[in-house]
Chains A and B, each alone.
Chain A
Amino acid sequence: MAAFDIIRSGKHKTPLKPKPMADMPHTELGMDYKVWCDSHKGTHKWRNIRWSVLIFMNLLFVLSFVFDLAILEGSLSGSRLIGFYLMDPFNALQELAISSTTGYIVHLTMNFWIGLFTILIFWFLLGGRSYCSWMCPYHFLAEMGERLHNYLVKTKKIKEHAFHTGIRFVFWFGFIILALATQQLVFENLNVVGIVSRAMIYGPGLLLFWVFGILLFEIVYSKRFWCRYVCPIGTTWSLVGKLSPLTIKFDLDKCGYCRDCQTVCLVPHELWFVQRGKATQETHYTGSDCTNCGLCIDTCAGNALSYTLKGWGTVL
């Protein structure tokens, strides 16, 4: 899987030579480098759009229940959008794993299958892990926690602790094996996404303390710990998004090597090509770990990053 990503991203090729000073965007504009870098500070176009969508969708869940609107019923683990079922894929995957060993699989309704495939196609078209930044209520909380965390790191109150991102797959397989071994959807009892979603719709419960515990851990110890290293839902979506057309495009000739985009990014390894002397092609695309949150687009002074439908350029 990883090898496949490398070939696709162009990481295996020999890097291009870094641009000379004369070709840098700030010299072309006749600006001071520092001033140029900060010229997009305070731009939050995509962040504001994304937060609006995220809050609106989660509010729609709540309002549908409170006012009996029948627009978006259920919760993030399974829902019905104007009558059409939608299933959480990791939940469904555990369910399928257990029920195929016990034979219960034959009882699953047609709505289950339709819901599973609808949501897979839907988020595949929208970039897979876009679910995280555009839909997940915990992502929103974690973004707030991240700001606090960044402040604490900046003022040297705490140290940053990073881990290997590959342990997501240990958790992903681990939770499926755990489900098979115990015949319970164990992950659902620990799933901060589902807990927050359910708490918003059906009322808060004791498990919110678990959510706050994770959040606190992220704030004082390791930045975005759950999203980066644990969440198997995000991992599932990143697998779904492997071949998704919607990604973020990088134009080397507009880049000023400032790396601001990597600092704001949840998954900085997906932006490996922004570093001076790393890019191997004139244009690069982010891989499937990218949540298409648009923070890098907002922060980029040279507009080197943009949303794109890869492979559809000639059609549209």
Chain B
Amino acid sequence: MELAENIIQKRPEGLSSPSKKKQRKYQHTLTKQTGAKCTIFPTKHIGICNSGLVNGLSEEVVYEHFSKYGKIEQILMLPGKSCCFVSFDDIKCSTKAFNNINGVLNIAQYLKPVFLSFVENIPESLIEANLKHDSDPPNGLIILENFITDSEERAFLALNDFNRLGSSLKHRQVKHYGYEFKYDINNVDLNCPLEEKIPKECDILWERLRIAYPQLIFVEPDQLTVNCYKPGQGIPSHVDTHSAFEDPIFILSLGSAIVMDFKNDNGDHHSLLIPQKSFVIMSGESRYAYTHGITPRKLDILQTKAGLTVFHRAIRVSFTFRKVRNGKCCCKFHSKCDSYLRTHEKSYTAFGQLAERVEETHVHKVYENIAQHFSETRHKPWPNVVDFIKSFETGSLLVDVGCGNGKYMNCGQNIFQIGLDTSISLLNVCREKQYQVLLGNCLRIPLLDNVADGAISIAVIHHLSTEERRFSAIRELLRILKAGGRVLVYVWAKEQKHRNEKSSYLKQDRKNRRCEENEAVSNEKLTLVDGVEIPIHTNRTQFKHQDVLVPWKLKKNSGKSLNTGTDESQTFLRYYHVFKEGELENMCAQFNSKLLHSYYDQGNWCVILEKK
């Protein structure tokens, strides 16, 4: 058997010794992150040591490049990790892939080459935890295969000529019958029915459904939305507005199979293949409590215990049939029910000077008071932020907006970093280490336009208490950047469970490690100025609201309050707006910038933007 080391040396260009050193470093990281044992002997299993989901590497790209060398048995992407695994059917193929890709193929972040290592085995526990995509449907979802014949499929497709259709959303083409679904209000207008009703040709479906599924109670739909997806197009995760439509919802799929993702608040994630010519009944929990969406990509990779199957997408046309609802929704799935939330949620909307007062009292003053304790507990930089900073070349200017105690201020190599923060106590900590810092607000950065090569905003924008102010903060970050400059933004996620994995924020509670879910809900409310109330969050639990006050407990004698010198144990409440999946991206989409990468890391939603 050949040694991988030898294989490397045999490669025509050969790897220079710094690369070898780099390779060893990466192998070490792979083992540390995953527990997989690296080996110099070729095996079927290859670890990609320096790139994974957090670096923007997708299963699709891995498949595209590795499948050239033989049949792939499994691709294992790991959420929150900068590595992943590919297993081949046999060693010949994996060796070929290794020789051609290692240190050569530029699919790692910032177009750098990937470094590979053979591993003895992929640890079972990793497979168990990450081949999570449950391929069984969620409760209430029924897929009836081959519901229509080939000739009926052609007839349905002929009903719409998408080449002529004018209306097109950013990512797909769409046409409505019966009522128009308005995407700005996410609802239909009952007073404005459309001239065009659901085509008669669809009637066969209801007769057939009654025969195929006699126990199903349903009213014939009066609204139809036809979507046309080209390969590479998709639809963001969403719940059909509860108050707009009854239960159930039906989907007829034409032209191509597709994988649809269903996710709920508990972090359950089902990836389901919706076959061509199938008829889906989405009812109960699957209709009310799960979001559904289609990832924009050209091929779907479905992994089950049996192995890996790849579906190349063709043009898919879907018919979504719904019955328009008259009145409120009364379902029991409150977290996604707009009718329930409208009447029960005291939504917090601050504006103008009130927003500034909230931030002054519940952000700026709190950081001033907890500065010492905060700084003592915030010393470990997040690796993906460090990687971003290290990607800037010598002589770059990087601004850390909201630098806190400066934990990222010396991560760069031969670059000039300036920090900005509103807390003088935290800035004084920075000065002890000679960092360049400014006292200022992220909404009014005191720097010239187009001056910085890069910027970071780590855990800052979630402290701004109106959408307008959060929007302005991103505009400010882009303002100071040069064209081509990049900014990395981290905000706290409402979802503290992602792809079935609890964030370290939840894990830090011992109770959460043991039991299923900490359901404790705090009913405490704090009355603020002008009668606006914000709920107080219970630490180490999932967020129930987006606008919350998060307690910071200062223990007796630890980090005395600088102003009062008291050594009483004190609780400070910090204001947060925790971001929902997609919220940060949508906000960023409104600027003249390019979204280079978006990901979930350490319980945060993260984006990298490039200024145009």
Q: Is the A/B pair a real complex?
A: no
Residues of B within 8 A of A (CB): none
Residues of A within 8 A of B (CB): none
